[in-house]
């Protein structure tokens, strides 16, 4: 069987089986064994999520939504209106430059940004896995088409 893999790799890719990258070896194995290389990356990747990663995804999903933007905009407007009204009555707990509001906004940004970046980094890793899976599928399709083309050429030579 090893000889078959070696011959298949030489014939299709022009390299020995041992010289191929792991993903290319997987494609050759798939062709030789007549199995698929397609896999659901979401299923395999989703099983590995830690509690922190799931929270980061939730925070990123909510923090990047129009609902969050709308609620936060409403909160800021209410904060300004309440403090402006109380400021006129000289009982404001956060007078005009709204230093407490700025502190809250800065703190939110300081905590939210790294959490969103964690989620984005994980999504980038997932995208790399998806790209590798797509590469394997495309390579297998290309190699199978080359094999079919070679068989058709052989059949056409036999007819002449």
Predicted structure pTM score: 0.69
Report the C-alpha gap between 154 and 158 in whole angstroms: 6
91-101: pLDDT as tens digits: 778 888 899 99
Max Cα-Cα span within the chain: 102
| Count of Cβ atoms closer than 10 Å to residue 140 Cβ | 20
Q: Of residues 108 and 160, which shows the higher confidence score?
A: 108
CA angle 66, 68, 71 (to 5 degrees): 105
Q: Where are the domains of the chain?
A: 1-35, 50-159
Q: At 96, is the secondary structure helix, strand, or coil?
A: coil
* 32, 100, 115, 141 from 110: Cα distances, Å: 53, 15, 9, 47
- More confident of the two residues 62 and 8: 62
Check whether 2 has a pLDDT greater than 90: no
What pLDDT is attached to residue 55? 93
Tokens, residue 24: 């290319």
**pLDDT tens string 55-90:** 999 999 999 999 999 999 999 999 998 888 766 666
- 154 touches 95 (CB < 8 A): no
């Amino acid at each position: 069987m090893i000889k078959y893999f070696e011959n298949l790799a030489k014939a299709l890719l022009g390299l020995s089986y041992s010289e191929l990258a792991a993903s290319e070896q997987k494609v050759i194995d798939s062709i030789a064994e007549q199995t698929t290389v397609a896999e659901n990356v979401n299923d395999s990747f989703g099983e590995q999520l830690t509690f922190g990663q799931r929270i980061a995804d939730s925070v990123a999903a909510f923090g990047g939504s129009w609902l969050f933007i709308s609620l936060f905009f409403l909160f800021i407007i209410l904060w300004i209106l309440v403090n402006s009204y109380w400021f006129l009555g000289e009982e404001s707990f956060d007078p005009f430059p709204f230093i407490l509001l700025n502190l809250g906004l800065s703190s939110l940004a300081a905590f939210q940004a790294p959490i969103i970046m964690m989620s984005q980094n994980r999504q980038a890793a997932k995208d790399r896995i998806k790209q590798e899976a797509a590469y394997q599928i495309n390579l297998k399709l290309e190699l199978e088409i080359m094999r079919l083309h070679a068989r058709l050429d052989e059949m056409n030579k036999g007819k002449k």
